[in-house]
Amino acid sequence: MKRLILLIFILLSIDNQMFSQSNPYNIVFDITSGDTAVHHRVIRWINGITKSYPDAKVEVVFYGKSLTMVENETSTRSDEIKKLAESKNVTFAVCEQAMKVHNVSKAQLLTGVTTVPDALYELISKQQDGYGYIKVVN
């Protein structure tokens, strides 16, 4: 009986983290497509993740033809991006090298969208920081 009581005490004393998800939910999306169906998909995924895991950190890195997703004049998801960008856990980051190639200025980007000097370095850095990597394609 004493052993049973001791076992129950030990089990109740164990930190709850032992039984919960120990790894943080951090994810970086790599998007290069100008396809609006791809843009819709990544927004849907972000909404699903942030709803199910409010503490998750999500970053979307844009380069190539995907810049249209975050430009004021061409974005078909502008309202959703602006709303998501208000969250401290969601980041939309545009490659400055791609901006030069496509003649896009920071003033043309949606409110809340940030820039990074180099998309590939950003993707590698996030993975080194423990972020899961997802390439968003058709």
> CATH number, domain at 127?
3.40.1260.10
Mean pLDDT calculated for residue range 23-50 = 95
Angle at 101 between CA 95 and CA 107, to 5 degrees: 60
Determine, yes or no, domain membership for 54.
yes
Determine, yes or no, domain membership for 14.
no
pLDDT (tens digit, 9 = 90+) per residue, 42-77? 999 999 999 999 999 999 999 999 999 999 999 999
pTM over 0.85: no
Instruction: Give the chain's domain count.
Output: 1
Alpha helices in the chain (DSSP H): 2-13, 36-52, 78-85, 96-101, 119-128
Task: Answer whether residue 34 shows pLDDT above 80.
Answer: yes
User: Which domain, by its residues, includes 62?
Assistant: 24-136
Percent of the chain with pLDDT over 90: 81
CB 126 within 8 A of CB 59: yes
Determine, yes or no, domain membership for 10.
no
Give the residue carrying structure tokens 């409010």.
Answer: 54
Determine, yes or no, domain membership for 119.
yes
Q: Mean pLDDT, the chain, as a whole number?
A: 90
Q: How many CA atoms does the CB half-sphere of 14 hold within 13 Å? A: 10
In angstroms, rounded to a whole number, what is the distance separating the alpha carbons of residues 12 and 3? 14
| Closest residue by Cα to residue 50 from 36, 22, 29 | 29
